[in-house]
Amino acid sequence: MMLLSILQSCKNSNMTERVITNKTTVLLLGSIHGAHRENPNYSFEQLFSIIDKFNPDIVGIEIRVEDINESFEYLKKSYPPDMLKIKEKYSKEKVIVGFDWLGETIEGKLIPENYWKESFDIKQLERELNNDSSEIALTIKNGTKLYDSLQLELIKNGNVIELNTKYEEITTKLYDNFRTLTKNSKYQKLSDYYTTRDGHIDENIIQIIKNNIGKRIIFIMGVDHRVFASSKIKKEIGDKIELINIKDIVNR
């Protein structure tokens, strides 16, 4: 009788089977933003299918909490199409929450017009690196070229399992290399920002989990962020939640 009180099977409106446990159930899902349009093995429809199979109570997306309730016209200026489509599709039936972070200067504020082109120094520095032919810039770009190309190939053709497993190994090596190559150069600011942003994303996700004990929660984020979020969650609260393997959802 005790087992039956802990584990029960039920069916939701679309007949997807769910298992209720005494732990918070979490799925971290890496997405590929606008590349879902072209990737034949990981389309928007496949992304939605995974969300539907998991059948979450709460859907976390890569949008700042400051922006989550803003209009589509506002959001499309700063956020990728997969996040906008998820918000539009599930907002009437699921609780949608944001966990992104884009910098200290706009914390608690709306993103200004022309922020990405004129005001955000990180984007300006990224463009500078792309156009820089100095020795240090070439060393950085040549030192990360292999990992960039491996990432790009998976983004173009990889399936959801590859992009949530194999891609992560490449990403770890890429960011480690980038951190080493940019150290003590003016481009270290880029590496520092990427690390800081992932740290804030991870903290926001963990707080959402702590605020929703016993719920089923999916967090959808660009694949570059997933490996860091997974590591942080396992370290901080891994024993308090059930972290779902993406293969178990895809193969259901």
C-alpha 108/C-alpha 196 separation (Å) is 17
Is position 91 within any domain? Answer: yes
Confidence of residue 119 (pLDDT cuts 50, 70, 90): confident
Confidence of residue 180 (pLDDT cuts 50, 70, 90): very high
Is position 78 within any domain? Answer: yes
Cβ–Cβ under 8 Å, residues 10 and 16? no
Q: How many domains does the chain have?
A: 1
Is position 14 within any domain? Answer: no
**Per residue in 43-82, pLDDT tens?**
999 999 999 999 999 999 999 999 999 999 999 999 999 9
> How buried is 204 (Cβ within 10 angstroms: 0-12 exposed, 13-18 middle, 19+ buried)?
buried
Is position 1 within any domain? Answer: no
Is position 11 within any domain? Answer: no
Is position 31 within any domain? Answer: yes
Q: What is the pLDDT of residue 117?
A: 85
Q: What is the pLDDT of residue 5?
A: 35
**Per residue in 208-240, pLDDT tens?**
999 999 999 999 999 999 999 999 999 999 999
Q: What is the pLDDT of residue 167?
A: 96
Would you say the pTM of this structure is higher than 0.75?
yes
Q: What is the pLDDT of residue 86?
A: 98
Confidence of residue 23 (pLDDT cuts 50, 70, 90): confident
Query: Looking at residues 77-91, what average pLDDT do you find?
Result: 97
Computed over every residue of the chain, the mean pLDDT equals 91
Confidence of residue 21 (pLDDT cuts 50, 70, 90): low
Confidence of residue 162 (pLDDT cuts 50, 70, 90): very high
* pLDDT-above-70 percentage for the chain: 91
Cβ–Cβ under 8 Å, residues 171 and 151? yes
> How buried is 101 (Cβ within 10 angstroms: 0-12 exposed, 13-18 middle, 19+ buried)?
buried
Confidence of residue 14 (pLDDT cuts 50, 70, 90): very low
Q: Is the pLDDT score of 1 beyond 90?
A: no
Instruction: Report which residue type is found at 185.
Output: S
Instruction: Report which residue type is found at 74.
Output: Y
Is position 219 within any domain? Answer: yes
* Parent domain of 206: 21-250
Confidence of residue 201 (pLDDT cuts 50, 70, 90): very high
Is position 169 within any domain? Answer: yes
Q: Is the pLDDT score of 18 beyond 90?
A: no
